[in-house]
Structure 1
């Protein structure tokens, strides 16, 4: 299994400036399937740039209806369904992404929902796709339907917070994760509504105790203020290897199986 980041920037200004790419990430070779998570602006272009075939996607996961998470979903659906000619693939998204919620979404048109299997995922719900179990995790975010994703395959568990601020029950949502991926917008003490700070992510790591933690979806200020020093400090203080993801970073997940 391989994890590859097609973008590690997040938030409006990182997206607009492209200080970091915003294409989400891929998990390839899990139960023989390839998963693309949160395909923001550039997901298609970056897939080709890093040698990943978008026509080989089997599952597309979209956490919520903010542009930096859903922008390239429709074109990836076209790739996944061979130009909308075949009924194939599986799209899993929040209520706002699939159905729309108040003034948000739907982010995927009825046309693009015709060919793949489409599932609306709520926090706490589980979806089975072959031997892969995908559970929606609770968030506190501006899109109230936003869900994170806990992906389980055999004894392996990868958990993705999506966009959320810290709340006391967050660790329980990601309990048992071997790999914990957190969307972290900024460093420092000032609380930012609906998002994690580096100190929040450190607390989450201490509570979840994954084998490895990865910080992505970085805001402009964090990008400019050396995210690597932040993760070095977190690693030293928690004893858990913590990585600040970079665009194109590839990791072999097989070492974390079992």
Structure 2
């Protein structure tokens, strides 16, 4: 199994500054190739890191926000050879694929018709991609239909996605070998205002890790202040507090299991 981070920046300001890249996550597991949340720069960084975009089995979109979907259309175009070869599966939130109420969808109709299969997921839904079981999990975020994912295959990987901590979130991510945690805010930004801003801070990350007890936590999707103080410092604190191995991902870092 392989997980590669094609960028570790998160949030509108973290992405706009491009101090770190924001290209999303590439995963190989159970013989399948997945691209998760292709943000701005996904195409460029995938090419520079020799990601086999033409061989993708699925593109996963957790929610509609641009830092998670910006390059989805162009990846579909690459995968399907401009629509000449209908193939691939798009899996994602209702907002990202269909839109919801006043929220416009992220993937254009022009590219949706290029795909072999489209799977719109709500929390609790499951979908099998070969031997890989994908389960959608709930989030609390600015996107009312946003979801996380649990990928159960060679290893069980939880992708919490953008969310603040809420009671019961841990129930959807228990039993994971690896948790990928979008960690926008460090301890010094853990004000009530920030906590209600729909993202994870270090203290709520600690609570979630303690209540799920995965084998490994990989933090990513860092905000501007987090980048300035150093994600490694927060990861070290979380590891000391929880006793769980916590690693702050670096741009283009590869994890193999």
TM-score by length of 1: 0.95
Matches within 5 A, 1:141-160: 141-153=141-153, 156-160=155-159
Whether 1:177 and 2:176 are equivalent positions in the alignment is: yes
Q: Could you tell me how far apart the structure 2 residues matched to 1:114 and 1:203 are? A: 42
C-alpha distance in structure 2 between counterparts of 1:132 and 1:85, whole Å: 27
Question: Residue in 1 aligned with 2:3?
Answer: 3
Match of 2:80 in 1: 81
Describe how 1:1-258 pairs up with structure 2 within 5 A.
Answer: 1-28=1-28, 30-116=29-115, 117-153=117-153, 156-188=155-187, 189-191=190-192, 192=194, 193-253=197-257
User: Shift of the alpha carbon at 1:102?
Assistant: 2.0
State the Cα distance separating 1:115 from its structure 2 match.
2.2
State the SS of the aligned residue for 2:181. strand
Three-state SS of the structure 2 residue aligned to 1:194 is coil
Deviations 1:82-139 (A, max 9, x none): 2211121100010001110122221111111112111101011111111111111000
Between the aligned partners of 2:168 and 2:256, the Cα distance in structure 1 is 30
Give the length in aligned residue pairs. Answer: 251
| 1:20, distance to aligned residue in structure 2 (A) | 1.1
2: CA distance, partners of 1:150 / 1:64: 15
| 1:219-249: CA deviation from partner (whole Å, max 9, x where unpaired) | 0000101110111111112111101111011
Q: Which deviations, in whole Å up to 9, do the C-alpha atoms of 1:139-162 show, x marking residues without a partner?
A: 0000000000100115x2100011
**Runs ≥4 in structure 1, deviation > 2 angstroms?**
none
Render the CA deviation track for 1:22-58: whole Å, top value 9, x for unaligned. 1110102x12111000000000000011121211211
The answer to whether the 8 A contact 1:31-1:131 is kept is yes
Matched-pair contact (CA < 8 Å) for 1:140–1:164: yes
For structure 1, the 5+ residue unaligned runs are 254-258
**SS, match of residue 23 in structure 1:** strand
C-alpha displacement of 1:73: 0.2
Check the 8 A contact 1:98/1:105 in 2, yes or no: no
SS state at 2:77 partner: helix
Please provide the CA RMSD for this pair.
1.0
